[in-house]
Chain A
Amino acid sequence: GAVVSQHPSWVICKSGTSVKIECRSLDFQATTMFWYRQFPKQSLMLMATSNEGSKATYEQGVEKDKFLINHASLTLSTLTVTSAHPEDSSFYICSARDQRTGGKRDTQYFGPGTRLTVL
């Protein structure tokens, strides 16, 4: 399957600081990437859809000014958690759409995730 990387794999930061998480598709180009959030023992919740060269589409209830998404190239999307607070502590996972298979079989491949802890 396609390879997606995330950096960093874990980060600890102080309350009030900003944290940037990178998501890269390593062996394919991804016009669309997705950012998810996962709390312990829960399922993945989609935060936003990141489109290369255009603004991200945020899910209802997700603050776009707090979770800044930039999809500057076909292989890189970044999520910046601004003014982080302890309640932002979570596991953040990105995925990239592998459009090489085309059509209905388009599959999302996931990065390894980033565990954010805000003190």
Chain B
Amino acid sequence: AQKITQTQPGMFVQEKEAVTLDCTYDTSDPSYGLFWYKQPSSGEMIFLIYQGSYDQQNATEGRYSLNFQKARKSANLVISASQLGDSAMYFCAMREGEGGYNKLIFGAGTRLAVHP
């Protein structure tokens, strides 16, 4: 079974509007971390936001927020006030267990295109 599922291969959004990128996950470990990374055409992976499984509040980092619904096992990324520079691939990832020794499992990614 897929551990991380991103069902949207591509998304379009108008500049200055908000967009939600979907991510669902599957794990039986009670302790896990969820990450979102951005990969522009240059190829670098840019860390955006982190949500821990025990965190009570949804994570926010500037224009990025994570809509964490634990019972539904979803961790959607919300980008507010989209900018042209937000056009990129976005990957959701999960780390099972404690600490950083455990590997990251990535979803297939969603390509976001921001239109002027």
Chain A residues within 8 Å of B, Cβ to Cβ: 1, 32, 34, 42-44, 46, 49, 91, 93, 95, 97-99, 103-113, 115
**B79 CB, min distance to chain A CBs, angstroms:** 18
Closest 7 CB pairs of A and B: A106-B100, A110-B45, A97-B100, A113-B43, A112-B44, A43-B106, A104-B52
A-B contact pairs, 18 of them (CB 8 A): A32-B100, A32-B101, A43-B106, A44-B106, A93-B43, A93-B45, A95-B104, A97-B100, A97-B101, A98-B100, A104-B54, A104-B98, A105-B50, A107-B50, A108-B104, A110-B46, A110-B47, A113-B44
Considering the complex, give the chain B residue whose CB is closest to the CB of A108: B104
Chain A at the B interface: SS class: strand
Chain B residues within 8 Å of A, Cβ to Cβ: 31, 33, 35, 37, 42-47, 50, 52, 54, 91, 95, 98-101, 103-109
A104 with B107: CB separation less than 8 A: no
Starting from the known contacts A43-B106, A104-B31, A104-B99, 11 additional A-B residue pairs (CB-CB under 8 Å) come to A46-B103, A49-B101, A49-B103, A97-B100, A97-B101, A98-B100, A99-B100, A104-B52, A107-B35, A110-B44, A110-B45
